[in-house]
Each structure stands twice: as C-alpha cells, then as structure tokens.
Structure 1
Amino acid sequence: MKKQNLVKGALILTASSFITRMLVFTLSIVESRVLGPEGIGLKKMAMSFLGLMMTLTTIGLPVAISKLVAEANTQGNRTKVKKILIVSLAIMGSLSVIVGSLSIMVSKFGSSHFLNDPRSYFSFIALIPLIPIGAVSSVLKGYFRGMQNMNPIALSQVFEKIVQLILTYVFVQYLIPLGIEYAAAGAVLSGVIGEIFSLLVFIVMFKMEYHKKIRIPYPRWTNVVKGKRMLFELLQTGLPTTGDGFIKSFSRALQPVVITKSLAIAGVGSAMIAKQYGMLTGYVMPLIFLPGFINQSLRVTLVPALSEANAKNNQMLIQRRLNQAIGAALIVGAPSTVLLYLFAPELMSIIYRSPSAAPLLKLIVPFFLFNYLQTPLQSALVGIGLAKKAMFNNIIATGITIALIYPLAANLGLGILGVILAISFGIISETLLHYFCVVKAIDFHLDIKYVTKIIFAGLSMGFCSRTLFVSITQLTSIELFNLTLLASVLVSILVYITVLGFLKIIHQHDVMRIPGVGKILGSFFPT
C-alpha cells in the first residue's frame, strides 16, 4: 500500500471534510425547518455528553494508534501493527460496554436534574448505541491515519452524513406529531444509523485492502495480557490525550448544565433556555464550523506526519510542516471570519429565518479565528510527544471558560451573550498556551509576514464584498436580495484568490496539486 504525503493526505481529507461540512450545514438547515430552535436545543443538550462518553471509552487510543502505527510502518514492523489493533480493540470493546451501561443508569436523573429539562431524556437514550459503534470506528480510523491512507476516512465521512441527512428528515417528520422530544430523539437516532454505515465502509475497505497482510482475531483480554508492552506504549500516548479529551468533553458536557442553571437564575424560562441554546449550537456553530473542514483534515494528517519527522529527529521538517499547516488553516479561516462577521444578519435571515441569532454570530466569530491556529499547534504538541502539555493547557483554558460563564451570564445579566464571551476567552487562552509551549519545545518561528499577508487579503476581500453588496442592493429590488448576496460573495472570493496570488501566498505548484483541475487553475498563478 502506498502511503500519502502530508499535502496529498491533507488535500483528500480537506475535500471530504468540505463535503462533510456542507452536508452538516445542510443538516442544520433541515433541522431548523423541522425541529426549530427548541427541538435543536433538546438534541444538543443530550449530544453534549457524547464526547465525554467516547473519551471514557477510547481513552485517547485513536491518537496513540495513529502515532504508533506510523512509527511501526516506517520501520516495516507489521507484527507490531497487528498487536496495536488487537490490544486497542480489546480495551475499547470492553470499555464501551461499561460506559454504555453506566450511561443508561444515569440518563433519567441527569436529564431532569442537570439539564433542567426531562424532555432531553429521549435524545440521551437514543445516542447511547453510538458508544460501541464509535469505539470500533475509532480503532480503524486510527489505523488508516497511521498508515497515512486517508481515502477510507474521507469516504466514510461523506457516506455517514448523507445517510444521517436523509434519515433526519424522515424520522423527524414521522415523530414530530408525537412531540418535540420524540422528534429530537429521532434526529439523534439518525446519527447513530449514519455511524453504523460509516463503520461498514471502514470494515469493507479494510478487508479489501489489508486482509491478506493483517488478520485480526476476535479481541480478548488474554491478547491484552500477552501484549503488556504494547499496552504500555498505547497508554503512554493515549492517557495524556485522554486527559486532554476528557477535559474538553467534560467541559462540553458541563457547559449546558452551567448555561441552563445560569440562565435560569437570570430569570429565563426553560423553553426560552432551550431556544437560545438551540440558536447558539444549532444555528451559529454550524456556520462557524462550516469552514473548519481545513482544521479537521489537518488534525488527522499532521499528528502522524510530525511523529514521523520527530522519529527521524528532523527539526527543519517539523518547522516547515507546522508552518504549512498554520498557513493552510488561515487561508481558509481569515476570509471565512470576515464574511461571517460582515454578513451575519443576512446569513441568519436567509438560511435559518432567524435574524435574532445574528448578534450571537457577530460576537463569537472574531474570537473564533484563533481556533484556526489552535488546531495545528495542538496537533504539533501531540506529534512531538508533548501531549501532556496540550492536556494541561486545555485544563487551564477550560477552567477559564467554565469560571466565566456564571458571572458573565447571570451576575452581569448578559445572558447568552455572556456565555459566548466565556467560550471566546477560553479559545484565546488555549491558543496562546499552545503557541508558547511549541515555541519553547522546538524553537518554533511563526512566519509573521506570511500570516499578515493572509489577513490583509481577507480584509481586502471583506471590504470588496460589503461595498459591492451595498452598491448593488441600492440599485436592485428586494426580490434579488439573495442573488445579490451570492454574487457579492463569489466576486469577493475571486478578489481574495487574486490578492493571495499577487502577494505570492499561493504559487503555481501549490495549485497544480489539486486533483483534476489543478493544471488548468495553475496557469493563472505565479510560479
């Protein structure tokens, strides 16, 4: 099997992640139409606990699998790869049963007392089957990432979201007459079935390409006992990553609890709490994360790539790959941030028919630009063996977020705006902590000139798009409003790409790597 380099693997996952994000975005629009903000709020309250469940089940092993498989594959040690998979399957299979059972036991009490809304119980129960299914998928994802073959991951992501999108509409339409809580649970269940189809894709592709090279027997704890050394290697990387993942997932699980309690103290009713939480998590977040496909692709490709470079003690390669990743993230993140800020009222009105959510989007999106730096920096820490540093940074940032939610939302009376400010301060804190740790560890030098050029191009794009939109709107009728917005954005994207080429941020050889149309588009860019 031919492994893919960082750029090719990132391009494949970027393309699939873009398609996936578009499907997720479409899903959010469908949910806004059939569920509304209240139903989305009920679903998101329950789904916020999924990360915690999966963290306790996987204990950071997916990242450890990708790292160790990459190292073993570099050494040509196929026996070690087999041991990694056997031990991982045995551990995560057993933990999934334990975590799933505990989740069922606490579901009724948690939905009533922690989330202040018993209706979220049905959504909570519906997501529990995701635990064992996601555990097996995580092992195979880690394996493919370690082998630096991103095709199965790309295909499974797209297939999963297509299934989820179709079933969400069907299930919600069927269950909505029974009550909003049942419809929300149906939306969750569609995600479970989508994950099942994703797992089937992994299994089929694994059997097609690797069954002659690696045969995995039924995992038993005896395999784990025999592979004690492999277990220790997995846990050495996995447990620090687990700590980081646990803090993040615990924060996500705790946030709706703190948010609902804080808003209740501020005098907001339970129905309005679900509605505001639904607008934030169901309307604002999908728009913000839509361009985040670049972060997802870089996250899964950068860790094994930097692990390989670190194993060879190639510091120059580490520096170059990290700067490449940060540049790629900002090339997508900078213009996205500008457009979402400038067109927040129009986007919320057209897409979700909810202009009242626009202030939420305008407040959080400038801070979220830091997230495009945070992901490559955290991946770098994990890749060079400093997962513990990433974990402690996350603990500090999470503490800041949780600590600020109550005083900002309740004491200062900012409500949901206070929640957004607390989340934003947490993002900034974690990004800065990661950056200082990377600088100290590898004497990393961020190319400030390169970053400044990208931000300048993004601001130029924003100025052009807003000016063009206002000018055309004054000359056209209200019926052409949507078309005017689309035309303004498309023209501004062309301006952005032109400025990037003029500033020599994008070169001909970069564009020519794009599959299919690269050679054609490359002729328009400088060498």
Structure 2
Amino acid sequence: MNKKILNQIVILTLCNVLTYSLFFFYRVFISRRIGSVGMGLYTFGMTLYYLFYSISSGGILTAISKYIAENCYTVGLKEKVVFVLSKILFLWSIMIAILFWILNPFFCDFVFTTPQLKHLVYPLIACVVVVTQSAILKGFFYGIQNPTPPALAEVFENIVRLSITCPIFLTVSTSSSLDTKLLLSFLGILIGEISSLSFLWISYKFKYKNPQILINLSDIAEISSNVFKVSIPLATASVVGMIFQSFENMIIPKTFEIIGNTKSQAISIYGIINGMSFPAATLPLVIINSLSIIIVPTISETKINTKALNSRINSFLLLTIAISLPVTCIFLLFPTQICNLLYKNSQAGVYLKHIAPAIVFYYLSVVLSSLLNALDKANFNFILNTVLTAARLIAYIPTILLFKSEISYIWISNIFALISCIIMIEKISNLEFEFIIEKRIIFLIFQFAVVCLLIFTILIFLNITSMQVFIILFLSGYSLLSYFIFLYQKRRKEK
C-alpha cells in the first residue's frame, strides 16, 4: 500500500474516530434522555428518513468519486460534474422531499403504527435536500483523492450538533414530553447537516474561487449518463434495503409481541438492539469506513494495473480482518461493562455479547461491497443485497417464533452477514484478473472463523461467560494460521 493511500487512511481514520465519537456521544446522550422506547421511535424515524434520502441521493457520492477518479486527467471535468449535478439533484431532492411530506402520515399511521411520529419528522424532510448537496461535494473531494474537507466537515457537523442541541435538551428535558424530545433529536440531525454542507461549500469555493465553466448539452448528457449508470443500481439497492428495513421495523416488534411482550416492551427491545447494541458493535467501523470510502477512487484509478490492484485488494481485506478480531474479543469479554458505561443499560450488553462473534463478517461485508462497486459490479451487489435481505426478513419470523426469544433475531443477522461475505469473496476471486491470495486461502480463513463462531455459540448457549483462555487460544491459533498463509504466499512468489 503506497504512502498516498496510507496518508488518506490515517487522515480519514483520525477524523472518523473523532466524528463517530462525537455522534456516538450524541446518540448516548439522546438515548439517556428519551429512554429505550424513545430510541425505538427514533429508529423508526431515522429509517423513514434514510428511505427518502436513498431515493434522493443514494449512490451519488460513490458514483461521482469513481467517475472523477477514472477521468482525473481531463481538464475541467470535475468542476463541470459539480456544476451539472448540483442543479439536477437539487430539483430532484425537492421533489423527493415533497413526496416524503405527502407519504409521511401513511408510513407513521399504517406502516410503523407510530402516529405520534408524523408531526415530529419535519426536520428530516428538510434534511433530504441538504444531504443530497453534501453528497455531491463529498464525491468531488473523494474523487480528487483529497479526503480532508469531507472528513473535517463531518467533525464540524457533530461539534455544531452537540454544542447547540445538548444545551437545549438540558434546559427543557425536565419539563418536556417525549414528543418534544424526539423533535429536538431530529432537529439536531438537520442542524448538523446544514453545518456540514456549509463547510463543504466553503472548502470547494476556497479551492475553486471563480471556476470558468463552459457547459453544453453534450457535457450534461455525458456526465449524467456516466454518473447515473453507477448511482442508480446503488440507489436502487439502498432504497430496496430501506424498504425491507421499514418492513422489519413493522414486523419484528409485532413478532416480539406474539412471543409474550407488550407493545411497549417490544418497541423497547427493538430499540435497545438496533439503537444501542448494534451501534456499539459497529463503533470501531470508523477505521473500516475509512477504507471503504477510499476504496472506490483508489481501485478505479488502478484497474489497468493488475499488480497494484492485487496489492490494494489484499491490503484492504487483511487490514479489515486484523482490526475486527481484537474488537470481537473485547466485546465478548466486556459487553455488559461497555453498555453500562455507554448507556447505563445492562440488557444492551446481553445483546452485544451475541452480536460480537460475527463482528468480522459485518466489517468485511462493508469493505467487500465497496470493492465490488469499484470493480464495476454494482448490479451484482444490488441483486445479492436484495435476495439476502428478503431471505433474512423471511427467516426472522419462524426463527423468533420457534425459539421464543429476541436473541434469534440477532443470530439470523449474524448468519446472513457470514453468507454475504462468502458470496462476495467468491465473486471477487472469479473476476478477470489474477487474485494473489488464492480463493482456497480465503475460504480457509473463513472456515476457521466459522469454527470459532460455532464454539462461541456453544459457550454462550451453555452460559459459559469466562472465555479469557479460549480467546487467547483463538488469537494464537489465528496468528499462527496467518503466518503460514503469508509464508506460503511468499514462497509462491519466489518461484
């Protein structure tokens, strides 16, 4: 991995650590003010927002960064991309925001059966327009491989959100209702996004103070077709995913009710799992997200160079595995302590313990998906995500009813994360270039991980919580296996 990419990873990682820490603090602050039921409603509101955000600008950031990176030597192209798409997508996002406003009562009344939300999500409707413009500018900066402005914009966003929203919360929290608190939570999202867009726009204008742009119809047609042919499959996948997420938000709490919980308890359990436990498990994704963001432009830039392509793919995959394994051990050893520290909620720690064994698969799926997008396999990603999401949603209901436990919901998610990784690695291994780390080596790693996953499952099922010795053996065995794999690769290269 060359120095330029390492510098980008370091910058993004440092900024992402700060960004995620600030946003995570915001979520923890919010969760303590609105409680587990409020977090369930907050999850429903954000799901609705992400659905319309995906329709408005899903895949745009990736498509723009890919297009600019592939045409980095074309003079004036990147400025034209920003100019053309900012106008087209502004009109499009306005239309989607209006659609959001019209359909909001239907979703809140009939899909989520949470009518109190329909008067609270108006800040998120405005967010759709703001975030679409931000996606264009972020795609521009990532395309020219200058990740600093987008990274700093996200830091600035979270600082502004915390500095404005938290004091308001502390002022009115003792006398305000849950509805007021939820409205303030969503308003904080809007305030942060406006500040992020302002920072990005100032950074862009500082770099290109008065760009002389000559646009004709052929430029508009070319830019639009090249960007949208990448963004539409990604946006479609994102929209389908959010539709399935909406169904999940509607079905899973109802299923929890069937197995003996009240409606309030069902929403609370769902809110703890998706608003506390999963966010805690994915907090270290800040580093993985740094990788996934720069994968598209860096891989797009080197697709004609097989040696460089192999090197970067191998580095991304192995770094992801190296990060996820220690994280798995930490969350297995101290799930309750972590969740008590963050949320003052020990039940979130119980769920986190069940999520932890599959962390490596959740992390790898993020990187593998970005690799496939960079290698022009966005359509494959769309089909895979759609099929697996539908199958997972179907599998949730009988499994929860059979075992009469919300833990089944987590383990179905874990199993499908594993399946997704295996299929994506199989696809990458069979693309039209020589993949240095051979497919059987990758599957050897996965077989080892699956064995560990099964052992963790047995230990958890038997209520054996003292796993320090096993984890030491796990890391030792994995390190030994990795050593022999690299030794094998080195000897093959020497031949």
- With the shorter chain as reference, the TM-score category is 0.7 to 0.9
Between 1:324-333 and 1:301-310, the stretch displaced more is 324-333
Give the paired residue count: 456
What residue is the counterpart of 1:194 in the other structure?
192
Give matches, 1:137-152, under 5 Å: 137-152=134-149
2:257 to 256, 264, 275: 264
Given that residues 28 and 286 in structure 1 are in contact (C-alpha distance below 8 angstroms), is that contact kept between their aligned partners in structure 2?
no
Counterpart of 1:203 (choices 201, 204, 215) is 201
Match of 2:346 in 1: 355
Residue equivalent to 2:299: 306
Displacement, 1:47? Answer: 0.2
Q: Per the alignment, in what secondary structure is the counterpart of residue 290 of structure 1?
A: coil
Is 1:112 the counterpart of 2:109? The answer is yes
> Structure 1 residues 264-273 or 44-53, which shifts more?
264-273
Secondary structure (helix, strand or coil) at the match of 1:149 reads: coil
Asked if 2 retains the 8 angstrom alpha-carbon contact of 1:295 and 1:372, the reply is yes
Q: Secondary structure at the match of 1:184?
A: helix
Distance 1:295 1:322 in 2: 13
Task: Give the Cα separation in 1 of the matches to 2:413 and 2:312.
Answer: 29
Range moving further from structure 2, 261-270 or 23-32: 261-270
Deviation (angstroms), 1:155? 0.4
Supply the AA of the counterpart residue of 1:23.
L
Instruction: Tell me the CA shift for residue 337 of structure 1.
Output: 1.3
RMSD of aligned residue pairs (Cα, Å): 3.0
Distance (whole Å) between structure 1 residues aligned to residue 237 and residue 217 of structure 2:
24
SS of equivalent residue, structure 2 residue 404: coil
Query: Is 1:93 matched up with 2:90?
Result: yes
Q: Cα deviation per residue 1:445-504 (whole Å; 9 max; x = unaligned)?
A: 447599969x99xx9xxxxxxxxxxxxxxxxxxxxxxxxxxxx9xxx9xx99xx89x979
Q: For the residues of structure 1 that align with 2:151 and 2:69, how far apart are their CA atoms?
A: 19
State the AA in 1 paired with 2:133.
V
Query: In structure 2, what is the equivalent of residue 421 of structure 1?
Result: 411
Match of 1:39 in 2: 38
Question: Which of 280, 293, 297 in structure 1 is aligned with 2:290?
Answer: 297
3-state SS of paired residue (1:26): helix
1:235 aligns with one of 214, 225, 228: 228
1:116/1:260 contact within 8 Å kept: no
Name the CA shift for 1:316/1:450 in 2 (closer, same or farther; >3 Å).
farther
Secondary structure in structure 2 of the residue aligned to 1:148? coil
SS at match of 2:71: helix
Describe how 1:40-59 pairs up with structure 2 within 5 A: 40-59=39-58
In structure 2, the partner of 1:14 is 13
Q: Aligned partners of 1:224, 1:264: CA distance in 2, in Å?
A: 57
For the 8 Å contact 1:171–1:183, the answer to whether it is kept is no
Deviation sequence 1:347-369 (CA, Å, 0-9, x none):
22233221122221111121121
When residues 328 and 101 of structure 1 are mapped into structure 2, their CA distance, relative to the original with a 3 A threshold, is: same
Asked if 1 retains the 8 angstrom alpha-carbon contact of 2:254 and 2:266, the reply is: no
Deviations 1:281-333 (A, max 9, x none): 222122111100012111110100000111xx111211110111112222221
The question of 1:433 aligning with 2:432 is answered no
| Aligned-partner Cα distance in 2 for 1:250–1:365 | 26
> CA-to-partner distance for each residue in 1:48-85, whole Å, 9 max, x for gaps?
12222111111422211101111221xx2133223322
The residue identity in structure 2 corresponding to 1:66 is S
Corresponding position of 1:465: none
Further displaced range: 405-414 or 386-395: 405-414
Out of 178, 185, 192, which is 1:180 matched to?
Answer: 178
Aligned to 2:363: 372
Partner of 1:509: none
Identity of aligned residues (%): 23
Normalising by structure 1, we get a TM-score of 0.80
Aligned-partner SS, 1:397: helix
Deviation at 1:419, TM superposition (A): 2.2
Q: In 2 relative to 1, CA 67–392 (structure 1 residues): closer, same or farther, beyond 3 Å?
A: same
Counterpart of 2:320 (choices 304, 320, 329) is 329
CA contact (8 A) 1:41 1:275 kept: yes
User: Which amino acid counterpart does residue 322 of structure 1 have in structure 2?
Assistant: I
- CA distance in 2 between counterparts of 1:244 and 1:317 reads 29
Cα distance in 1 between the residues matched to 2:122 and 2:172: 16
Q: Does 1:71 align with 2:64?
A: no
Q: Secondary structure at the match of 2:103?
A: helix
For residues 452 and 39 of structure 1, what CA distance do their matches in structure 2 show?
41
Per-residue CA distance 1:189-209 (angstroms, 9 max, x = gap) = 101101111111101111111
Q: Counterparts of 1:173 and 1:40 in 2: how far apart (Å)?
A: 18
SS in 2 for 1:178: coil
Q: Deviations over 1:400-435 (max 9, x none)?
A: 221122222345422x32322232233222212211
Shift in alpha-carbon separation, 1:26–1:59, aligned structure 2, 3 A: closer
Distance in 2, matches of 1:117 and 1:165, equals 27
Q: Could you tell me how far apart the structure 2 residues matched to 1:271 and 1:298 are?
A: 39
Give distance in 1, aligned partners of 2:278 and 2:182. 18
